[in-house]
Amino acid sequence: MGSLVPFQDLNLCPEPPLPATVNISTSATPSATINRTTTFNFLTPKIEPKQEPFDEPTPTQTIHQQENFLFSVSNSTPDFIPNPETTPPANASSSADDQNALYSEYFRISELFRSAFAKRIQKYGDVEVLDPDSRAIVPVPEQSQLTPETSPTDGSNLERALSVVVSRKKAGRSNELVRVTNLGIDDQRHFRDLVRRTRMMYDSLRVLVISEEEKRTGPGNGRRARGDLRAAAVMRDRELWLNRDKRIVGAIPGIEIGDVFFFRMELCVVGLHGQIQAGIDTLPASQSSSGEPIATSIIISGGYEDDEDSGDSIIYTGQGGQDKFGKQCMHQKLEGGNLALERSMHYGIEVRVIRGFKYENRVSGKVYVYDGLYKILDCWFDVGKSGFGVYKFRLSRIEGQPEMGSSIMKFAESLRTKPLSTRPMGYLTLDISMKKERVPIFLYNDIDNDHDPMYYDYLVNTVFPLNVFGQGSNSTGCDCVSGCTEGCFCAMKNGGDFAYDYGGILLRGKPVIFECGNFCQCPPSCRNRVAQHGLRNRLEIFRSRETGWGVRSLDLIQAGAFICEYAGVVLTRDQAEVFKMNGDTLIYPNRFSERWAEWGDLSRIFPEYVCPSYPSIPPLDFAMDVSRMRNAACYISHSSSPNVLVQCVLYDHNNLMFPHLMLFAMENIPPMRELSIDYGVADEWTGKLSICN
DNA sequence: GGAATGTCAGCAGA
DNA sequence: CTCTGCTGACATTC
């Protein structure tokens, strides 16, 4: 049976619903309640008891044709499509004329649809209605069932926390179709922060699942747990997925064009795309008040041979008709996602486009980049490369959006390999570190004649006073000749667990991290040596109109990855007094906001979670002079919503008074996006502001 | 030896 | 309940 209801039964509202205004609390935690007013444009046509018939075309004629059309397209054995069992799929000339005739019929019917709906379609775009019960964010769930007296790192409890209640009541997705508009600056910051914290939690859980599994089986033994799936399941169980109570058309609050994701599940968790495998996300027909499915987002990731992607315009192949190996083996049908895209085209509803592609050294898996909103311009039935019928959709990127993330990534890739031919003007040097770092650091200015960073000596690591290294009394290390293992001496120094996973990703922020060092027997490849290896990502110091000098990466930086040290010459309190009188600019590390505490914060999963206080260090009581020697870090801009955190690390000495200040990514940072640190209290000595301006 | 292909467990949504 | 879907990790092959 056809997937569309006859058109006189469509529950489309004859008039837009009346506007109303309500305050919607979008605060994530009850303790920090901030009421915000957010406007939702409701796109779901409301069911009205009485339906006015359409004016044109005449109902009888249209219904008749529509039914024919639907039966012929959506039946399992459509009569206009050659049966692959009996008819050779390719070059089937005998049926080509039939197909052509049916295509024409399809277009003719489509045009009738279009004109019939035209008036009502126009109304959808600018309706402003607020629902008193609406919330853009799922409420904070009840406290979980965990017993509060045990520690989260206790094995059995952890297992329980990470397990998912099998008989859980599934909280389905909402059927309310809305478009979020009128977000003020505060709202944007709020949602951005919410998304960031949600993603941080997802990532922390994901690596926790994997590292727990490796603890049990040992590294490299057995198949690794699907941390991506488990983390999502745990969060879904606790209702921590975002945007489940709304089907959002258009942009998702808090998600920017160019944001990068490593897992399909992560897209579900933030509500960008709600299907874990399917490429077309829809409000299904059964939940739509018009009885028609509506598409809200698509993923284009090269899985269909008939796709043509040229960036701003896409020819997207519908779903279905493939065997389990991804080969087209039968004709596609106008149902499910395909019908939804066609309906979205009719209603002028834009779709989010996410591109998935293999990137760099990621062996398996892809990266997914949110590339913004597209309009569906056209839809037709075509014979694909394998000779089977496929639905094709022509999409065009809506104007006025920031540049596509995927094209920025391509641009950054060519900058890495051939910077001068990609961008002939503006480079002041192709390595400001003069080969002192493992990878070159570009200096780029296409704005003015400022060459300032050229005039400083490049400092790779912080310089400490000689007496910091002590007399060797603190020189203790492990005996792990083949690399550190669970429970070794250095693990115990860090409170029993290593701070990094096997890929060098920071698992959980701590007051200080003891990496293995000169006094350890382990090799340089030890998992407990990360920040000491220095820069890995190719950075670029660039001139910006907004922030003076800034820093960005040409590589994609994974959340939790080490970036670089905040280097300078350490001055004791007494020395700092003298330098200050000379008018030199100093960094006071104790003013950095303690963002490390947010990293790996699982208090919403483990109620008994407390911020790590061990290993503890005394308050930082030194200053750093960067007025003569510095590295890239001191060009990083300030932000109260930063993407980089400062983590204290010790490795070449054990003096707790003088740790290295190491910078780690707080989120996946796409190439060419500016790095930022929370420099803390804005006063006369606040970091970069006083240095570079 | 790196890219391509195969296999297998996995799970949410419809 | 069953089925489908532009996964992701790893083993194997080319």
User: Is the same domain home to A375 and A477?
Assistant: no
Q: Are A57 and A193 part of one and the same domain?
A: yes
A169 touches strand B (CB under 7 A): no
Q: What's the pLDDT band for A103 if we cut at 50, 70, 90?
A: very low
Asked whether the predicted pLDDT for residue A278 surpasses 80, the reply is: yes
Instruction: Give the pLDDT confidence score for residue A259 in this predicted structure.
Output: 96
More confident call, A386 vs A96: A386
Q: Tell me the pTM.
A: 0.77
| Residue A448: inside a domain | no
Q: Name which of A28, A48, A47 is nearest A36 in CA terms.
A: A28
Residue A617 has pLDDT above 70, yes or no: yes
Percent of chain A with pLDDT over 70: 71
A345 and A477 in a single domain? The answer is no
Confidence of residue A105 (pLDDT cuts 50, 70, 90): very low
Tell me: pLDDT of A11 over 60: no
Given a cut of 60, whether residue A9 has pLDDT beyond it is: no
Residues in A 254-283 whose C-beta is less than 7 A from nucleic strand B are 268, 274-277, 282-283
d(CA A177, CA A293): 11
Give me the mean pLDDT over the A500-523 stretch. 90
Q: How confident is the model at residue A661 (pLDDT cuts 50, 70, 90)?
A: very high
Contact A515, A650 (CB under 8 A): yes
Say whether the CB atom of A230 is under 7 angstroms from strand B: yes
Residue A29 belongs to some domain of the structure: no
Tell me whether strands A177-181 and A247-249 are parallel, antiparallel or unpaired.
parallel
Residue A287 CA to its chain's centroid (Å): 28
Helix (H, G, I), strand (E, B) or coil at A524: coil
Instruction: Give the pLDDT confidence of A343-358 residue by residue, as tens digits.
Output: 999 999 999 999 999 8
Q: Provide, in whole angstroms, the distance separating residue A278's CA from nucleotide B14's C1'.
A: 12
Find the mean pLDDT for residues A239-244. Answer: 92
Q: How far apart are CA A442 and CA A610, in angstroms?
A: 41
Do A46 and A187 sit in the same domain of this protein? yes
What was the pLDDT predicted at A112?
39
- Residue with more model confidence, A474 or A365: A365
At residue A300, the pLDDT reads: 92
Is residue A633 a contact partner of residue A565, using CB atoms and an 8 Å limit? yes
Q: Looking at the structure, do residues A395 and A467 belong to the same domain, yes or no?
A: no
One domain, residues A149 and A248: yes
CATH of the domain at A610: 2.170.270.10
- The helix (run of H) or strand (run of E) holding residue A213 is helix A185-217
Note the CA–C1' distance, A44 to B10, in angstroms.
33
Give nearest nucleotide to A236 (CA–C1'). B12
Q: Which residue has the higher pLDDT, A192 or A73?
A: A192
Sign of CA dihedral A300, A301, A303, A304: positive
Protein CA A161 to sugar C1' C3 (Å): 31
The answer to the question of residue A424 being in a domain is: no
Assigned domain for A122 exists = yes
Task: Say yes or no: A201 and A317 in one domain.
Answer: yes
Same domain as A463, residue A342:
no
Q: Does residue A673 lie within 7 Å of nucleic acid chain B, judged by its CB?
A: no
The range of the structural domain enclosing residue A220 comes to 34-402
Q: Which pLDDT score, from 0 to 100, does residue A513 have?
A: 95
**Closest nucleotide over all strands to A237 (CA to C1'):** B12
The larger pLDDT score, comparing residue A254 to residue A137, is at: A254
Strand B proximal to A339 Cβ, under 7 A: no
Same domain, A187 and A296: yes
Q: Does residue A394 sit in the same domain as residue A496? A: no
Q: What is the pLDDT of residue A165?
A: 52
Tell me what pLDDT residue A116 has. 34
CB-based contact A264:A278 (threshold 8 Å): no
Decide if A11 is inside a domain. Answer: no
Same structural domain, A464 and A382: no
A344 and A477 together in one domain? no
Domain count, chain A: 2
A551: confidence class by pLDDT, cuts 50, 70, 90: very high
Can you tell me which residue has its alpha carbon closest to the C1' of nucleotide C11? A223
Mean pLDDT for A426-436 is 93
User: Which residues does A643 contact at the CB level (< 8 Å), separation at least 6?
Assistant: A665, A666, A667, A669, A673, A675, A676
In a domain, A87, yes or no: yes
Q: Is residue A70 part of a domain?
A: yes
Give the CATH number, domain containing residue A60: 2.30.280.10
pLDDT of residue A160: 65
With respect to residue A446, please indicate whether it lies within any of the assigned structural domains: no
What pLDDT, on a 0 to 100 scale, did the predictor assign at position A31?
Answer: 32
